[in-house]
Amino acid sequence: MAEIWITGIGLVSPAGEGREAHRAALAAATPAPVDLDSHAPFPLHPGPALELDRQIPKKGDQRQMEPWQRLGTYAAGLALDDAGARSLVADMDLIVAAGGGERDLALDESVLAALAGLPPAEAATQLNALLAGGLRPTLFLAQLSNLLAGNISIVHHVTGASRTFMGEEQAGADAVRIAAVRLAEGRGRIALVGGGFVAPRWDLLVLYHSAGLLRHGAGFAPVFSRDEAPGAIPATLGAFLVLETAESARERGARGLARIMGVECEQARRNDGDTAAAAATRAFARLSMPEGPLFVLSGATGAAGAMAAERAFLAGLDRDVVLRAAGNRVGWGVEASFPASLALGALMLADGIAPPALEPAEGAMPAAPRDLLVTGFGAWRGEALAHLQAIPAEEQP
């Protein structure tokens, strides 16, 4: 099996864009900026202003994309530049994880207004009539998540095999897992993988709030300190990684940021006693983490159920755990969250960064890790783990 390196990251988050901004965010003693007003009562982590022309030079391409597509395409370009891999795009696989397109809010509001106060049976009939006359089939088809992959192919000329995933955090983890496995098995030499999520969208906020996933009616608190108002704080987040075989990277003189030792995904049955903690424990058993203190970059969102599951999983390992929450630095970006955590983890390993604690649960990190466990428990379901390892200088080209 081929050895897989992360050779480039394209990260856009509330901390800014690119390596330097996120190095600074990891080293900072303050969390990501937060917007408490624009979508109250829901706090958000806002994204930075982007000069789209830098990565999407044609105005026509920019106009035909929705904001989340522009964000993802921009982050993908950053990753290609960071890896110095523009010359390899013709043979580069592309795996994208992102949500669906933006809804027609005016139509949604008119439908809700028309249904208000109707008996259930009458409301169901009225809903069907309203949707039949209001929705256009082409509207949904024009907003499928694979359009992000299409736009990346058009703008950046990435023309290898392409796959897309959508709908939940584990989509981002599975995208990375499949990309790494394909390369390790010799079905390619390089891949671009990641996703994008735009936070200030009322349609998604209402959706996630209805599932009890969002923090609301309160200001910012660190991820593990939200007991008074549990829930995730969404963030505008674009995260892409360039994964490459070590042989390919060495041949072209590209330095690796981190070695991917394994990515494992599970999903608890949630019956017959199976739990998210048990599913994560099964996934952990398939990794090769070294003995001793366990350095963990947690993808915890702040949602109470998933937080409890991760705590139970880590406690069950019976090891000293040194914890950091990616969400304190970049917030929650659904499908983009796991690739973003891997990008942060790769920077920690490549640059020897030991991020300061931002809350009591994080504790002291006396030295930068050499091996890092990245977790992704999602806000509701989907358990994912990755083992990243630092690449010694003598193994670099």
Give the pLDDT confidence of 329-341 residue by residue, as tens digits.
999 999 999 999 9
User: Mean pLDDT lowest for which of 142-146, 149-153, 319-323, 351-355?
Assistant: 142-146
Position 39 pLDDT exceeds 90 = yes
Neighbours of 295 (CB within 10 A): 25
Looking up tokens 């580069």 gives 92
Q: How far apart are CA 194 and CA 335, in angstroms?
A: 8
Angle formed at CA 181 by CA 2 and CA 396, multiple of 5 degrees: 40
Position 60 pLDDT exceeds 60 = yes
Q: How far apart are CA 135 and CA 140, in angstroms?
A: 8
Provide φ and ψ at 4, rounded to 5°. Answer: -115, 130
**Long-range own/partner contacts, residues 165-168 (CB < 8 A, 24 or more apart):** 165/95, 165/96, 165/97, 165/335, 166/97, 166/98, 166/99, 166/100, 166/335, 167/99, 167/335, 168/334, 168/335, 168/378, 168/380, 168/381, 168/382
Position 310 pLDDT exceeds 90 = yes
Indicate the pairing of strand 321-325 with strand 294-298.
parallel
| Whole-number pLDDT of residue 138 | 47
Position 344 pLDDT exceeds 90 = yes
Q: Which residues contact 333 (CB under 8 A, 6 or more apart)?
A: 13, 195, 196, 197, 199, 234, 235, 236, 237, 238, 239, 340
**pTM of the predicted model, to two decimals?**
0.93
- For 175-197, what is the mean pLDDT? 97
C-alpha pair distances (Å), 288 with each of 237, 278, 295, 339: 30, 18, 13, 20
To the nearest whole percent, how much of the chain has pLDDT over 70?
96
Give the residue, 327 or 136, on which the prediction is more confident.
Answer: 327
Position 134 pLDDT exceeds 90 = no
Residue 167 banded pLDDT, cuts 50, 70, 90: confident
Q: How far apart are CA 356 and CA 350, in angstroms?
A: 17
Full set of structural domains in the chain with CATH = 4-103+139-251 (3.40.47.10), 105-138 (no CATH), 261-395 (3.40.47.10)
Position 136 pLDDT exceeds 60 = no
State the Rg of the chain over Cα. 21
- For 182-194, what is the mean pLDDT? 97
What's the distance, CA 352 to chain centroid? 22
| Closest listed residue to residue 22, CA positions, set 58, 98, 75 | 75
Position 117 pLDDT exceeds 90 = no
pLDDT digits (tens, 9 = 90+) for 197-244: 999 999 889 889 988 999 999 999 999 999 999 999 999 999 999 999
Q: How far apart are CA 343 and CA 341, in angstroms?
A: 5
